Structure 1
Amino acid sequence: MSQFSDAYDRRFYYLRLSVTDVCNFRCTYCLPDGYRPQGVNNNSFLSLEEIRRVTRAFAAAGTEKVRLTGGEPSLRRDFTDIIAAVRENPGIRQIAMTTNGYRMERDVAQWRAAGLTHLNVSVDSLDARQFHAITGQDKFYQVMAGIDAAFAAGFTQVKVNSVLMREHNSHQLATFLAWIRDRPIQLRFIELMETGEGGALFRQQHISGTVIRDQLLQQGWQLRSRSRSDGPAQVFYHPDYLGEVGLIMPYEKDFCASCNRLRVSAVGNLHLCLFGDAGIPLRDLLAADDQLDALQARIATSLGQKKQTHFLHQGNTGITQNLSFIGG
């Protein structure tokens, strides 16, 4: 099977695979009212065998990186087995996860032993009270202990995701930079994105990542070059800092030109864009091992529908009601 590509000659090396849409946090920008089932129950999420088959199909078509997302992926009791199943594919060089971090202190060593290579942890504030206000959970110190545990388990870098919000953290750059001066953390500011349920919050809290970028450049930070399976972050480094800063700015011109990732939801639908209109069902082809060719063919054919760009600038958020639905 040749490399997955679309009509704009973009090649897809990166799969974001949601394993659940359940989350136990209530972040203001994602699930402010807590988790509500999307018309499915927990038994209908992709099984371990289905995950094994879908990742095998992507790996055979040149996928080099798989990110396990949710919801909160560690809520699955078989999460360590999921990591091990993805690791069975020799072509997949990076197995990453995005987590709220609340189970890291307990489980991160076994995740690493199973094959996890990269970690992204969501931390929107370094102030424990503000963290509680944003997430609905008084877990700041537990998450910080989890980051320490990740380093103790052998991870050489941890990525920390912070959703950039005008009133909460856009003015806290100095505090964040002091935190990463002596820690190998890539701090990633993600512009707040409008979702179907989050229009009012977006209008109140959105601020462009260029505000942070301008400050970094004034302070001597420099832009790193990207590799082909990297995510969309612009990554900056500074000789005086052990850490790095990444900026994810989906509203910037040409953001989609370097798109290299596809998404599969927790119920087995292929999503060509986080803000696309509908998912393409794959699950009927995940029931047996002998359907690999048909599965790859459906994915390859579907890529002909991938649009050149998202339509966030026009306020069109597509099917994405909240970011737990497809996994961000």
Structure 2
Amino acid sequence: MIEPLADPFGRVHDYIRISVTDRCNLRCVYCMPSEGLEFQPHDEIMSYEEITAIMSVLAPMGVSKVRLTGGEPLVRKDLETLVHQIASIEGIQDISLTTNGMLLPAKARLLKEAGLTRINISLDSLQEDRYARITRGGNVHKVLEGIEAAYAAGLDPIKLNMVLMKGFNEDEIKDFIALTLDRPLHVRFIEYMPIGHATDSWRDTYLPLSRVAEVCEEAGWNIQDEPGPSGNGPSRNMRVDGARGTFGLIHPVSDHFCDSCNRLRLTADGHIKACLYWSDEYNVRRIIDDPAAVANLFRKALGAKPLNHEMALALEKKAQSHTPTVRRMSQIGG
């Protein structure tokens, strides 16, 4: 049996998040600048065959869960082809997708038939004008159509990711939780992270998730802790009494979950990142034709993985032990 992928702290890694493109059809304020970000040339982006080759190495090493991200993964042509290729690899048990949902109406059924297991849809506001402002041009009605398409295709669970930002959307917490009352939706409130732009503007926008509990109390909702749906990850999940769905809190800054981290990341241009926050990267694409070298490089990347990401120190303007990444979230794959 091949030795599983473990780091120096004994954390076994069975999950990889693969960015298939750095391009996106939106320009969300926390993910990309409004202008000036140059996209990588197409020949620098990993092909589906290269991604499949890497997964064929990782699956026997115990990596059984895959999440496809971007940029916006659905701007990549025929993404269902990649889903099918990965699903055909022995040992792969779960394939998920993070998307803004804008292109999902035309793709949900094809993705499900290809082997997609579940889906996360980024949705930071239910208000038309506000959503357009946060995404710099998005149409929230298209996203809502995408959610319906995911339901119709049988994707389950369907999770809605809301990045909570002071001055942007904190007044919609109640509206998002209300979505879980009558439908089996799973809302995730996520702290705003300083990926690629640890600036004063980020600190001014950061909002602790303690506000969510306050909103529930103000609404008179009785909430209970809940195990959560498949692919629960680091979320602390809760359910309003009688609700069909759940909501959860993900605290990457104020209450990090690094001690249980099981994630690897692969950027669209073929670099391994063992930690989302730090700048350490390893170019696996240059050795793609040598499976043994690919396996060794993943082990090397994990061998250098720090104990935690220290994002909280950025919030406090304190010195950190490593160099934070300068890549934007769209370039890494969140």
TM-score tier after normalising by the smaller chain length: over 0.9
For the residue of structure 2 that corresponds to 1:32, the secondary structure is coil
For the residue of structure 1 that corresponds to 2:5, the secondary structure is coil
After TM superposition, the structure 1 stretch with the greater mean CA deviation from structure 2, 211-220 or 309-318, is 211-220
Which of 272, 284, 292 is the matching residue for 2:286?
Answer: 284
Q: Is the 8 A contact 1:157 1:185 kept in 2?
A: yes
Correspondence 1:125-164 to 2 at 5 A = 125-164=125-164
Correspondence 1:70-219 to 2 at 5 A = 70-197=70-197, 199-213=199-213, 215-216=215-216, 219=221
Structure 1: 5+ residue stretches without partners: none
For the residue of structure 2 that corresponds to 1:181, the secondary structure is helix
Q: Is the 8 A contact 1:190 1:247 kept in 2?
A: yes
After TM superposition, the structure 1 stretch with the greater mean CA deviation from structure 2, 236-245 or 220-229, is 220-229
Cα RMSD (Å) of the superposition?
A: 2.0
Once the two structures are superposed, what CA deviation does each residue of 1:76-101 show, in whole Å capped at 9, x if it has no partner? 11311111111012312110011111
Letter of the aligned partner of 1:297 in structure 2? N
Query: In the alignment, what sits opposite 1:318?
Result: 324
Distance 1:213-1:35 versus aligned 2 partners, 3 A rule: farther
Query: In the alignment, what sits opposite 1:223?
Result: 225
For the residue of structure 2 that corresponds to 1:172, the secondary structure is helix
Letter of the aligned partner of 1:16 in structure 2? R
For the residue of structure 1 that corresponds to 2:331, the secondary structure is coil
For the residue of structure 1 that corresponds to 2:244, the secondary structure is coil
1:197, distance to aligned residue in structure 2 (A): 3.0
After TM superposition, the structure 1 stretch with the greater mean CA deviation from structure 2, 19-28 or 244-253, is 244-253
Cα separation, 2, equivalents of 1:305 and 1:226? 32
Distance 1:242-1:204 versus aligned 2 partners, 3 A rule: same
Cα separation, 1, equivalents of 2:36 and 2:45? 15
Distance 1:105-1:124 versus aligned 2 partners, 3 A rule: same
Which of 230, 235, 239 is the matching residue for 1:237?
Answer: 239
Query: In the alignment, what sits opposite 1:252?
Result: 254
1:9, distance to aligned residue in structure 2 (A): 0.7
1:26 aligns with 2:32: no
Letter of the aligned partner of 1:6 in structure 2? D
For the residue of structure 2 that corresponds to 1:325, the secondary structure is helix
Query: In the alignment, what sits opposite 1:270?
Result: 272
Cα separation, 1, equivalents of 2:265 and 2:232? 15
1:35, distance to aligned residue in structure 2 (A): 7.1
Q: Is the 8 A contact 1:274 1:320 kept in 2?
A: no
Corresponding pairs, count: 324
Cα separation, 2, equivalents of 1:310 and 1:263? 14
For the residue of structure 2 that corresponds to 1:58, the secondary structure is helix
Distance 1:141-1:92 versus aligned 2 partners, 3 A rule: same
Letter of the aligned partner of 1:30 in structure 2? C
Calculate the TM-score normalised by the size of structure 2: 0.91
Once the two structures are superposed, what CA deviation does each residue of 1:49-78 show, in whole Å capped at 9, x if it has no partner? 101011112211111210000000111113
Once the two structures are superposed, what CA deviation does each residue of 1:161-195 show, in whole Å capped at 9, x if it has no partner? 11101112222222112222111111011100113
Distance 1:143-1:228 versus aligned 2 partners, 3 A rule: closer
For the residue of structure 1 that corresponds to 2:29, the secondary structure is coil
Cα separation, 2, equivalents of 1:310 and 1:227? 26
Distance 1:93-1:216 versus aligned 2 partners, 3 A rule: farther
After TM superposition, the structure 1 stretch with the greater mean CA deviation from structure 2, 223-232 or 199-208, is 223-232
Q: Is the 8 A contact 2:254 2:312 kept in 1?
A: no
Cα separation, 1, equivalents of 2:133 and 2:274? 33
1:241, distance to aligned residue in structure 2 (A): 0.9
Query: In the alignment, what sits opposite 2:333?
Result: 327
Distance 1:174-1:226 versus aligned 2 partners, 3 A rule: closer
After TM superposition, the structure 1 stretch with the greater mean CA deviation from structure 2, 65-74 or 233-242, is 233-242
1:308 aligns with 2:310: no
1:220, distance to aligned residue in structure 2 (A): 2.9
Once the two structures are superposed, what CA deviation does each residue of 1:197-246 show, in whole Å capped at 9, x if it has no partner? 35243122110112214555883323334799642222222341111112
For the residue of structure 2 that corresponds to 1:176, the secondary structure is helix
1:283, distance to aligned residue in structure 2 (A): 0.8
Q: Is the 8 A contact 2:120 2:160 kept in 1?
A: yes
After TM superposition, the structure 1 stretch with the greater mean CA deviation from structure 2, 275-284 or 248-257, is 248-257
Once the two structures are superposed, what CA deviation does each residue of 1:293-324 show, in whole Å capped at 9, x if it has no partner? 22112211321110000021222571143210
Cα separation, 2, equivalents of 1:173 and 1:111? 30
Query: In the alignment, what sits opposite 1:66?
Result: 66
For the residue of structure 2 that corresponds to 1:173, the secondary structure is helix
Structure 2: 5+ residue stretches without partners: 315-319
